[in-house]
Amino acid sequence: MNKSLGDIQREVDAYISQFKEGYFSPLSMLARMSEEVGELAREVNHQFGEKPKKLDEAENSIELELGDILFITVCFANSLDIDLQEAHDKVMHKFNTRDAGRWTKINTD
């Protein structure tokens, strides 16, 4: 099943809304996001870098770490009433205008 960003935001909000604590503060979420990006960096380093996992280190994956980053990003956006579809559209407009000639396009002839 394909989910839109709006669907994902509503699903996360329904999950968080079950708990009295609700969303964390923006500073706490930024700290959490930083932690998750660090965990992604560790997994990328294990898979593509020179740092092998320790024998007792838990199995994890880049996919799961990206999922954690997506979750905290959605939580952050929801807590600030930001529509991620609108944010995405604005960012794509920026890239399609400001950066239109910045990169070498693939010849599709």
In this predicted model, what pLDDT tens digit does every residue of 2-21 receive, in sequence order? 999 999 999 999 999 999 99
Its pTM stands at 0.87
Q: Can you give the pLDDT at residue 1?
A: 82
Average pLDDT over every residue of 46-60:
81
Domains and CATH numbers, the chain: 5-98 (1.10.287.1080)
Q: How many helices (H) and strands (E) does the chain have?
A: 4, 0
What confidence tier does 28 reach under pLDDT thresholds 50, 70, 90? very high
- How far, in whole angstroms, is CA 103 from its chain's centroid? 24
Q: What is the per-residue pLDDT for 53?
A: 80
What is the C-alpha R_g of the chain? 18
